[in-house]
């Protein structure tokens, strides 16, 4: 599985005015509706339900909110780079400015976990995060995400 299979080019955005986690989830839901036909109400509800189980802020300014939804036939994602970090109850208590949301079918099981691991590996790379933070253009952000972490030759 590659990010190109999950992430529609128009589901990558640089945004300026998100003041809360709930507002961010509304923006992610709107993106998922526009790009994947997902019900925005269902997306917000599912993201909030998952977040109530435990925060998805994984540290170093990165959050990976995710949810399973009915009426979805494949795993899809949305990425938002925030100009101003927001509180996300992250594990390191740092505000979040890089957000990659995943939406998966209810029956996705292992595929959902593989997608989450792929996104996590990508955004755990300090070089990827630095490049994302230093760029504004959505097409450049997409290219950085698709390029992924630099591989190290053995």
Give residues with Cβ within 8 angstroms of 13, minimum separation 6: 27, 31, 78, 79, 80, 81, 138
The residues that bridge with 104 in the sheet, in sequence order, are 68
- Which run of H or E residues covers position 104? strand 96-105
- DSSP letters for 66-91: EEEETT--S-EEEEEEEEEEE----T
Positions in the chain short of pLDDT 70: 150-154
The two tokens of residue 92 are 């390191």
Burial call 91-104: b when 16+ CB within 10 Å, e when fewer = eeeeebbbbbbbbb
The pLDDT value recorded for residue 108 is 84
Note the pLDDT of residue 153: 39
Q: Is the pTM of this model over 0.85?
A: yes
Distances (CA, A) of 100 to 97, 117, 153: 10, 12, 28
Give the pLDDT score at 154: 38
Note the pLDDT of residue 64. Answer: 96
Q: How many CB atoms lie within 10 A of CB 56?
A: 25
Look at residue 127 in the predicted model and tell me its pLDDT: 94
Burial class of 55 by CB neighbour count within 10 A (0 to 12, 13 to 18, 19+): middle
> Hey, where are the domains in the chain?
3-147
CATH superfamily of 3-147: Mannitol-specific EII; Chain A (3.40.930.10)
- 8 has catalytic annotation: no
CA dihedral sign of residues 29, 110, 56, 83 = negative
Residue from 27, 51, 66, 145 carrying the catalytic annotation = 66
Give the model's pLDDT for residue 150: 65
Tokens of 36: 């994947």
């Amino acid at each position: 599985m590659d990010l190109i299979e999950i992430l529609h080019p128009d589901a990558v955005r640089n945004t300026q005015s998100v003041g809360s986690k709930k507002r961010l989830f509304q923006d992610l839901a709107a993106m998922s509706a526009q790009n994947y036909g997902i019900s925005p109400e269902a997306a917000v509800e599912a993201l909030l339900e998952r977040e109530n189980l435990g925060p998805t802020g994984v540290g170093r300014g990165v959050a990976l909110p995710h949810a399973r939804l009915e009426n979805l036939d494949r795993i899809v994602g949305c990425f938002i780079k925030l100009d101003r970090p927001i509180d996300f109850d992250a594990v390191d208590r740092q505000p979040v400015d890089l957000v990659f949301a995943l939406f998966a079918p209810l029956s996705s099981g292992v595929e959902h976990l593989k997608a989450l691991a792929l996104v996590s590996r990508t955004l755990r790379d300090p070089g990827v995060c630095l490049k994302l933070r230093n760029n504004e253009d959505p097409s450049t952000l997409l290219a950085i995400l698709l390029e992924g972490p630099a591989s190290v030759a053995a």
